[in-house]
C-alpha cells in the first residue's frame, strides 16, 4: 500500500511534464471530480443521520474560494512552495465534542478518487485552531495522530497539481463525540473516513484553490 501511495505523486509529476494528451484534461478532471465528490464528505452523524455543517472554518492565510499562498504549496515535483500547512481556526463547536479530525483533500486530482494532502485525527476536544505549520512531522498536540497522505507520508503535503486549471483544496474539520477514533497512526485516509462514521457531531470546510 505504501508503494502505491508513493507512486501517486510520481504519476502526477509525469503527467505534468508529458507532451502527450494527459488525464488532466477537462473531461478527465470532470470525471475525477464527480467520482471524488460522490464519496460522502459528510460521514454519518452521531445520531445516525448526516451531520449538519455547523462548524465555521477560516484561515488568515486565505479566504473561502481564493488562492492558497505559496508558503503552503508543495516543494517538489515541479512545485516551489514552502510546504507549510496554513493556520486554521473553527467555531460553532457543539456540546459533547471530545475530539476533532482534519482532512485536506483535492477532489480535482486526476486519480479517480482525488488526492489526500493531510489526515490528522484525535485532536483534543478543546482545540479551536491549528497554528501555521502544524502539519510538520511531530507538531500536533500530544495524543493526536496523523494518517498517510497520498504523498506517502504522515506530514502535511501542499498543493502541486499538474499544469492546467486550478484545483480545489478542501480543509475539512470534524467535531466528534469520541476522544479517539481507534485508527492507528499512519492509517489511510479511507480508513480514517470510515472510522468517522457514527461519530460526527458537526463539520465545516474551507476551500482554497491553486493552479499552475
Nearest-angstrom CA–CA distance, 107 and 109: 6
Distances from the Cα of 161 to the Cα of 79, 80, 134, 169, angstroms:
9, 12, 22, 10
Find all residues with CB under 8 Å of 25, minimum gap 6, and list them.
Answer: 164
Rg (CA), the chain: 16
Q: List, for residues 3-43, the tens digit of each pLDDT value.
A: 444 444 444 443 443 333 344 444 444 444 444 443 335 56
Q: List, for residues 132-191, the tens digit of each pLDDT value.
A: 999 999 999 999 999 999 999 999 999 999 999 999 999 999 999 999 999 999 999 999
Amino acid at each position: 500500500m505504501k508503494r502505491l501511495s508513493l507512486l501517486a505523486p510520481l504519476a502526477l509529476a509525469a503527467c505534468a511534464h508529458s507532451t502527450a494528451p494527459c488525464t488532466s484534461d477537462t473531461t478527465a478532471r470532470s470525471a475525477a471530480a464527480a467520482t471524488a465528490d460522490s464519496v460522502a464528505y459528510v460521514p454519518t452523524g452521531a445520531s445516525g443521520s448526516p451531520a449538519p455543517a455547523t462548524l465555521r472554518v477560516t484561515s488568515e492565510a486565505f479566504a473561502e474560494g481564493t488562492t492558497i499562498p505559496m508558503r503552503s504549496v508543495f516543494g517538489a515535483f515541479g512545485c516551489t512552495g514552502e510546504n507549510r500547512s496554513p493556520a486554521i481556526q473553527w467555531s460553532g463547536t457543539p456540546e459533547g465534542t471530545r475530539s476533532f479530525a482534519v482532512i485536506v483533500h483535492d477532489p480535482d486530482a486526476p486519480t479517480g478518487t482525488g488526492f489526500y494532502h493531510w489526515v490528522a485525527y484525535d485532536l483534543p476536544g478543546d482545540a479551536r485552531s491549528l497554528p501555521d505549520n502544524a502539519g510538520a512531522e511531530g507538531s500536533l498536540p500530544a495524543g493526536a495522530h496523523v494518517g498517510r497522505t497520498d504523498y506517502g507520508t504522515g506530514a502535511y503535503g501542499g498543493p502541486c497539481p499538474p499544469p492546467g486549471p486550478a484545483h480545489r483544496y478542501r480543509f475539512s474539520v470534524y467535531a466528534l463525540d469520541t476522544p479517539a477514533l481507534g485508527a492507528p497512526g499512519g492509517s489511510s485516509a479511507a480508513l480514517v473516513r470510515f472510522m468517522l462514521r457514527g461519530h460526527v457531531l458537526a463539520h465545516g470546510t474551507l476551500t482554497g484553490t491553486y493552479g499552475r
